[in-house]
Structure 1
Amino acid sequence: MSEKKETVLDVKNLHVNFKTYAGTVKAIRDVSFTLEKGETLAIVGESGSGKSVTTKTLMGLNAKNSEIPAGEILFKGRDLLKIDDDEWFDIRGDEISMIFQDPMTSLDPTMKIGKQIAEVITTHDYDGEVSKSEAMDKALELMKAVGIPNAEEHIDDYPHQWSGGMRQRSVIAIALAGKPEILIADEPTTALDVTIQAQILEQLKSLQNEIESSIIFITHDLGVVAGIADKVAVMYAGKIVEYGSVDEIFFNPQHPYTWGLLNSMPTTETESGSLQAIPGTPPDLLNPPKGDAFAARNKFALQIDREKQPPMFKVSDTHYAATWLLDERAPKVDVPKPILNRWKRFEEISKQNSIKAGN
Structure 2
Amino acid sequence: MKPKLLQVKDLHVHFKTYAGIVQAVRGVSFELYEGETLAIVGESGSGKSVTSNALMKLIPQPPGIYAGGEILFNGRDIIPLSDKEMAKIRGNDIAMIFQDPMTSLNPTMKIGKQITEVILQHKAASRSDAKERAMELLNLVGIPFPEKRYKQYPHELSGGMRQRIVIAIALAANPKLLIADEPTTALDVTIQAQILELMKDIQKRSNTSIIFITHDLGVVANVADRVAVMYAGQIVEYGTVNEIFYNPKHPYTWGLLGSMPDLSNSSDELLRTIPGSPPNLIHPPVGDAFAPRNEFAMAIDYEAEPPMFQVSPTHFAKTWLLHPDAPKIDVPQVVQQRIDRYVKEGEA
Unaligned 5+ runs, structure 2: none
Q: Match for 1:322 among 294, 318, 332?
A: 318
Helix, strand or coil at the partner of 2:7: strand
Helix, strand or coil at the partner of 1:82: coil
- Residue 289, structure 1, aligned to residue 285, structure 2: yes
State the Cα distance separating 1:238 from its structure 2 match: 0.2
- In the TM superposition, what are the counterparts of 1:322-341 in structure 2 within 5 Å? 322-341=318-337
State the Cα distance separating 1:143 from its structure 2 match: 1.0
- In the TM superposition, what are the counterparts of 1:136-175 in structure 2 within 5 Å? 136-175=131-170
Please give the alpha-carbon distance, in whole angstroms, between the structure 2 residues aligned to 1:25 and 1:134. Answer: 47
Helix, strand or coil at the partner of 2:79: helix
C-alpha change, 1:220 and 1:347, in structure 2 (3 Å) is closer
Aligned twin of 2:128: 133
Could you give the per-residue CA deviations for residues 282-314 of structure 1, whole angstroms, max 9, x where no partner exists? 110010101111111111111111111111001
- In the TM superposition, what are the counterparts of 1:194-343 in structure 2 within 5 Å? 194-267=189-262, 270=265, 272=267, 273=269, 275-341=271-337
C-alpha change, 1:232 and 1:270, in structure 2 (3 Å) is farther
Taking structure 1 as the reference length, the TM-score comes to 0.92
- In the TM superposition, what are the counterparts of 1:22-61 in structure 2 within 5 Å? 22-61=19-58
- Residue 100, structure 1, aligned to residue 98, structure 2: yes
Helix, strand or coil at the partner of 1:240: strand
- Residue 10, structure 1, aligned to residue 7, structure 2: yes
Could you give the per-residue CA deviations for residues 189-222 of structure 1, whole angstroms, max 9, x where no partner exists? 0011111111111111111111111000000011
Please give the alpha-carbon distance, in whole angstroms, between the structure 1 residues aligned to 2:338 and 2:293. Answer: 22
Could you give the per-residue CA deviations for residues 143-175 of structure 1, whole angstroms, max 9, x where no partner exists? 111011111111111111111111100000000
Helix, strand or coil at the partner of 2:201: helix
Supply the AA of the counterpart residue of 1:323. T
Taking structure 2 as the reference length, the TM-score comes to 0.95
Aligned twin of 2:117: 119
State the Cα distance separating 1:19 from its structure 2 match: 0.4
C-alpha change, 1:194 and 1:343, in structure 2 (3 Å) is closer
State the Cα distance separating 1:342 from its structure 2 match: 6.2
C-alpha change, 1:348 and 1:270, in structure 2 (3 Å) is closer
Supply the AA of the counterpart residue of 2:32. L
State the Cα distance separating 1:251 from its structure 2 match: 0.7
Please give the alpha-carbon distance, in whole angstroms, between the structure 2 residues aligned to 1:239 and 1:205. Answer: 27
The question of whether the paired residues in 1 share the 8 Å contact of 2:97 and 2:166 is answered with yes
The question of whether the paired residues in 1 share the 8 Å contact of 2:259 and 2:274 is answered with yes
The question of whether the paired residues in 2 share the 8 Å contact of 1:252 and 1:342 is answered with no
Aligned twin of 1:356: none
Supply the AA of the counterpart residue of 2:302. R
The question of whether the paired residues in 2 share the 8 Å contact of 1:93 and 1:180 is answered with yes
Greater mean alpha carbon deviation, residues 335-344 or residues 54-63: 335-344
Helix, strand or coil at the partner of 1:74: strand
The question of whether the paired residues in 1 share the 8 Å contact of 2:250 and 2:318 is answered with yes
Aligned twin of 1:357: none
RMSD across aligned positions (CA): 1.9
State the Cα distance separating 1:111 from its structure 2 match: 1.0
Greater mean alpha carbon deviation, residues 169-178 or residues 258-267: 258-267
Helix, strand or coil at the partner of 1:19: strand
Please give the alpha-carbon distance, in whole angstroms, between the structure 2 residues aligned to 1:313 and 1:209. Answer: 33
The question of whether the paired residues in 2 share the 8 Å contact of 1:253 and 1:339 is answered with no
State the Cα distance separating 1:332 from its structure 2 match: 2.6
Helix, strand or coil at the partner of 2:237: strand
Please give the alpha-carbon distance, in whole angstroms, between the structure 1 residues aligned to 2:68 and 2:339. Answer: 37
Unaligned 5+ runs, structure 1: 353-359
Q: Aligned pairs, how many?
A: 345
C-alpha change, 1:203 and 1:346, in structure 2 (3 Å) is closer
State the Cα distance separating 1:82 from its structure 2 match: 1.3
